[in-house]
A and B are shown apart, each in its own frame.
Chain A
Amino acid sequence: MTDLRVEPSQQSRSARMLGTLLRSRELSIAIVLVLIVLAATARRSTFVFSGDGWRDTLLAPSILLLLAIGQMVVIVTRNVDLSVGSTLGATAYVTGKIFIANPETNVVLVFLAGLLVGAALGAVNGLLVAFFRVPALVVTLGTMYIFRGVLTNQIGNDRIVAGDIPANFEKLGTQQILTIPVLTLIGLLVLAIVGYYLHTARGGRELYAIGSDPDAAKLYGLNVGKRVFAAFVLCGALAGLAGVFSVARYATAFAGTGRDLELQAVAAVVIGGVAIFGGSGSVWGAAIGAFLLVTINRALPILGISDFWQGAVVGGLIIGSIVLDRVLMLRRTHQLVEARDTTGTP
């Protein structure tokens, strides 16, 4: 009876943290990312060591970073949001429209507008999924078509061009603080907040609980509907923010803005080690996944692999990372079983 199966760790706090870090799934893709950057830099030093190269390395993933963070929060609850690409397109258009109506608009207001529009579209998804309790894959596939269709209907063949965008906003797309692009800084700030929330806050832990077993979460008394709704609103809001980013960066918006980004966002999350059926993974992993996906596309031509094989490499990467997850999970299960057997059942 006095035998405790679980004892407080004998290691110091920092040693434990180091151990967790070394064993983490995120580290494996971070290493892959670093290796790719190193290899590309070795081939062509301007890849990182030049003003433009350094900026692009950090700036290029900023849009996918936001989408991946939002997508991760939804996926961890065992849902998925396929409509983020359309949401991004819609807010990019709204951003352009605001500037056409009033070029003097405060930039902060534009960012807020993007967040709000995105959040509203996310709330539509969330309402359908959480309160009508219909499968997210189907609903967001539907809203992907609806949002994109309404957007195309509004824009037609028009496009927002660089002339419509005030210079100060356009400059924001490439502006740097301490050599770090502003957009990336905002993305990293969002990452830190969401990451901290998911890791420590009650709400964040509940999202994981819902994802690992929705029925158990419900029986336990968690308000599943509210949390899932909030996850979709957050995902939509971040996609909306990404839409504003997209205008700032490319100074254009048209009916096809953000098309096909939804599967990339899901891919980034999967590469980052988040289980597609929820309950495990971290937003750090999803963020590294987004950086990896974008960086690999930039690095491959430098490494002498033709652009045309990029898709194949990315596909291989996705498959490789889910196979890796599977192997790690099997090993962990094995270890746990062994631990159970050796600690000795009476």
Chain B
Amino acid sequence: MTTQQAPATRSAYPVYSRNIVQRLLVNRESAVIALLVIVYVYSLVNVEFFDGPLTTYNLFKEYAPILLMALPMTLIIITGEIDLSVSSTLGVCAAACGVMVKDHGLSMPTAIVLTLLLGIVLGAVNGFLVAYVGLPSLAVTIGTLALYRGLAEGLIQTDRIAEFPASWQDWPTERIGDTNIPNIMVPVVVLAVVFGLLLHFTSFGRGIYEIGLSSETAHFSGVNVARTKFLLFIMSGFVAALAGIYVLLRSDSVATDTGVGFELKVIASVLLGGVSIFGGRGALHGVIAGVLLIAVLNSALQLSNQGSEIIQIIIGLLLVVSVIASSFLPRVRELLPRRAMASGPSKAPNSGDESRKARQ
């Protein structure tokens, strides 16, 4: 019995068969961070104006919503679910906030609080359908993607709502002191720290990984699977609402197409950051590096007068290459002659995937 258990344990935790230096440095997250640094340094040296003061500022200003929404998305994808509706939640929240302020004369703080509540409700709808009704999140959130976008269109119709109170507009995009960092990065960093702590240093966060590896096992080991998923979708709705308010204030307008297509950008960055689409694997710092990598590439290519399609091609290639690297190479490695310890690295994510799929 014991002889059988030993290899099983080792293949379940293949990571610990390597020493700590390797574990910290040779993984997907480090690869993304290294790539980010390489691209950044290369752009600094070779791309004209990349070292200018506006580059960092614009980069953060433009990518703050993606960065925000990528945080809860990471947690959701680690549980093996997905939320495609974030961009529509963002759109409908921005629309609602605009309508409340301009058409109903609510003060900005009241409108913001109500908008955040709306985000929570919209997230809870997704969460309820996925966690308690047990529907597949891919299908549910394709539905709410259309539904919420439809609500936004119904709310503001052809109008473009604009001209919000100037004091509110300016704050998110003002620089912090003498730096090139806009104020919006303060809530972004706070939330990143909160989500980082939640995911990596609490039992709730460990539960998220367990659900991703096998939700049945998680259930039997005392994780409240349904509640965890429900809460994650609520967080996603809340953060999307926050991003919606930011987008509204940043561009001082909201239209029916506000935020269209963000969901795929967010998911692409999360996956690029080393999170497995099957759940159970990933880390928040990798995701943040993933978003920044896309952001840096984007601004470097823009500055060198490349069209936006080049960045699309690069995002696509990075996605395909990264997913091949993480799921195909381990199998190749398995086929090659190797030391016994390095065996079975691909087993853990695979088993998570299969049990998840079997449940659906």
Interface residues, chain A, with chain B CB atoms under 8 Å away: 78, 80, 128, 132-135, 137-139, 141-153, 156, 213-215, 255, 263, 266-267, 270, 275-277, 306, 308-319, 322-323, 326
Q: Which of these, B151, B320, B354, contacts A142 with CB under 8 Å?
A: B320
Name the residue in A156, A214, A270 with the highest tally of chain B Cβ atoms < 10 Å from its Cβ: A270
Stretch at the interface among B62-70, B136-144, B169-177: B136-144
Contact A314 B133 (CB under 8 A): no
A137 / chain B contacts, CB cutoff of 8 Å: 82, 138, 277
Contact B313 A146 (CB under 8 A): yes
Q: Which of these, A147, A267, A326, contacts B135 with CB under 8 Å?
A: A326
Question: Would A139 and B320 be within 8 Å (CB), given that A153-B309, A309-B150, A312-B150 are in contact?
Answer: yes
A to B CB contacts below 8 Å, 19 in the list? A128-B320, A132-B327, A132-B328, A133-B327, A133-B328, A135-B323, A137-B277, A139-B319, A141-B264, A145-B264, A146-B312, A148-B312, A153-B307, A263-B84, A276-B139, A308-B158, A312-B147, A313-B150, A316-B147
Contact A322 B139 (CB under 8 A): yes
The answer, yes or no, to whether B221 is at the interface (CB within 8 Å) is no
Question: Would A135 and B327 be within 8 Å (CB), given that A145-B316, A312-B154 are in contact?
Answer: yes
Contact A146 B153 (CB under 8 A): no
How many chain B residues touch A (CB < 8 A): the figure is 54
Q: Which of these, B135, B151, B267, contacts A312 with CB under 8 Å?
A: B151
Contact B313 A149 (CB under 8 A): yes
The answer, yes or no, to whether B131 is at the interface (CB within 8 Å) is no
The answer, yes or no, to whether B97 is at the interface (CB within 8 Å) is no
Question: Would A270 and B139 be within 8 Å (CB), given that A313-B150, A315-B144, A315-B150 are in contact?
Answer: yes
Contact A326 B134 (CB under 8 A): yes
A148 / chain B contacts, CB cutoff of 8 Å: 309, 312
Name which residue of chain B comes closest to A293, CB basis. Answer: B146
Contact B317 A326 (CB under 8 A): no
Q: How far is the CB of B256 from chain A (nearest CB, A)?
A: 8
Name the residue in A147, A312, A314 with the highest tally of chain B Cβ atoms < 10 Å from its Cβ: A312
Q: How far is the CB of A92 from chain B (nearest CB, A)?
A: 16
Known: A309-B153, A319-B129, A323-B133. 5 other contacts (CB 8 A): A132-B327, A135-B327, A138-B320, A270-B139, A318-B143
Question: Would A322 and B146 be within 8 Å (CB), given that A153-B313, A213-B358 are in contact?
Answer: no
Q: How far is the CB of A171 from chain B (nearest CB, A)?
A: 33
Q: How far is the CB of B67 from chain A (nearest CB, A)?
A: 19
Contact A314 B323 (CB under 8 A): no
Question: Would A141 and B154 be within 8 Å (CB), given that A146-B317, A322-B143 are in contact?
Answer: no
How far, in angstroms, from A90 to B312 measured CA to CA in the complex?
15
Name which residue of chain A comes closest to B311, CB basis. Answer: A149
| Per-position binary interface string of chain B over residues 161-174, scored 1 when its CB falls under 8 Å from any chain A CB and 0 otherwise | 00000000000000
B331 / chain A contacts, CB cutoff of 8 Å: 133
Contact A149 B268 (CB under 8 A): no
Contact A142 B154 (CB under 8 A): no
B4 / chain A contacts, CB cutoff of 8 Å: none
How far, in angstroms, from A227 to B129 measured CA to CA in the complex?
33
Q: Which of these, B135, B264, B310, contacts A322 with CB under 8 Å?
A: B135
Q: Which of these, B143, B154, B277, contacts A309 with CB under 8 Å?
A: B154
Contact B315 A145 (CB under 8 A): yes
Name which residue of chain B comes closest to A151, CB basis. Answer: B309
A318 / chain B contacts, CB cutoff of 8 Å: 139, 142-143, 146-147
B136 / chain A contacts, CB cutoff of 8 Å: 276-277, 322
How far, in angstroms, from A165 to B267 measured CA to CA in the complex?
38
